[in-house]
Amino acid sequence: MLAPSKIVCVGRNYVAHAAELGNEVPEEPLIFLKPPSSLIENGRHIEIPVGVGRVDYEGEIGLVMGRRARDVGEAEALAYVESLVAANDVTARDLQRKDDQWSRAKGFDTFCPVGVPEPIAGVDLDGLEVVTRVNDEVRQRGRASDMAFGPAFLVSYISRIMTLEPGDLILTGTPEGIGPLADGDVVEVEITGFARVVNPVRNRPARA
C-alpha cells in the first residue's frame, strides 16, 4: 500500500471535463491536496458518508515519485517518477460546489482508491489511456495526450511549489464522463494495459 507524505491533485486538466462542469481550463495547473488518510487499496469499499449528497467517481492516471524533487525542469522531471498507478479521485460533488475550497469534498476516508504501482520505465506516457467503468459499463475514457498540462510539466510545476518526496502521489486529472456512485456499485479505473483498481461502493455504516 502506498504511504505518501502528500497526494497532489490536478483539477480541470482535460478540456471536455472542465466544460461538463461549466468551467474553462485554467491558465496554470489548478492543484489541490487530498489527505493520505483517504487512501484505500484495491478491493476495499468506497464509503458514501451520510448527508453529503452526490458522490462521484473520477478515474485518473497517478504518478508515484521515486526521488526527491525540488525545482526540477520539465525535461528532467520524469526521471524523478518511479511508477504509474490507477487512481480514483472520489468527490462529494455537492460539497465541492458549496465550499470555496475542496478539502472537505475530496478528503473523506476511502475517497482515494489506488491500485498496485507499475514501473514507468519505457512507458510512452502520452499514449496512456485511462478508462473508468461502473458495473462493467464504460463511463470515462481519456488519453494523457488530451491533458492540458502533461505529466512532465506537472511534476516540474509542482516541484517548484513544494518538494516532492519519494512515494508522493500526483493525480493528473480526470477526463469527461464523471457521474454518481451508489450503494452496491462496483467501480473500476484502468490505465489500459498497465494498471487498474476495482472497488465496491457502500453507504458508510452508522456509528455504534
- How would residue 206 be classed by pLDDT, with cut points 50, 70 and 90? confident
- For residue 135, give the 3-state DSSP assignment: coil
Q: In the chain, which ranges are E strands?
A: 7-11, 30-34, 39-41, 46-48, 55-57, 59-65, 81-88, 91-92, 112-114, 118-119, 129-134, 137-143, 169-171, 179-180, 186-191, 195-203
How high does pLDDT run on average in the chain?
A: 94
Residue spans of the domains in the chain: they are 7-203
- Cell readout for 11 is 483539477
Of 179, 181, 184, the residue nearest 202 (C-alpha): 184
Of 47, 40, 58, 197, the residue nearest 139 (C-alpha): 58
Pairing of strands 169-171, 7-11: parallel
Mean pLDDT value of segment 67-72 = 98
Give dist(CA 108, CA 111) in Å, integer: 6
Instruction: Indicate if the pLDDT at residue 56 is higher than 60.
Output: yes
Q: Is the separation of the CB atoms in 69 and 77 below 8 Å?
A: yes
| pLDDT score, position 1 | 75
pLDDT (tens digit per residue) in 83-115:
999 999 999 999 999 998 999 999 999 999 999
| pLDDT score, position 15 | 75
Instruction: Indicate if the pLDDT at residue 208 is higher than 60.
Output: no
DSSP 164: B
Instruction: Indicate if the pLDDT at residue 6 is higher than 60.
Output: yes
| pLDDT score, position 18 | 58
More confident residue, 17 or 196: 196
- How would residue 17 be classed by pLDDT, with cut points 50, 70 and 90? low
pLDDT (tens digit per residue) in 127-144:
999 999 999 999 999 999
Whether pTM > 0.75 for this model: the answer is yes
Which residues touch 51 (CB under 8 Å, ≥6 apart)?
A: none
* Domain boundaries 7-203, corresponding CATH code: 3.90.850.10
Neighbours of 28 (CB within 10 A): 9
| pLDDT score, position 195 | 95
pLDDT (tens digit per residue) in 141-162:
999 999 999 999 999 999 999 9
Taken in order 82, 88, 90, 96, the sign of the CA dihedral is positive
Instruction: Give me the DSSP letters along 28-72.
Output: S-EEEEE-GGGEEETTSPEEE-TT---EEE-EEEEEEE-S-BSS-
pLDDT (tens digit per residue) in 168-179:
999 999 999 999
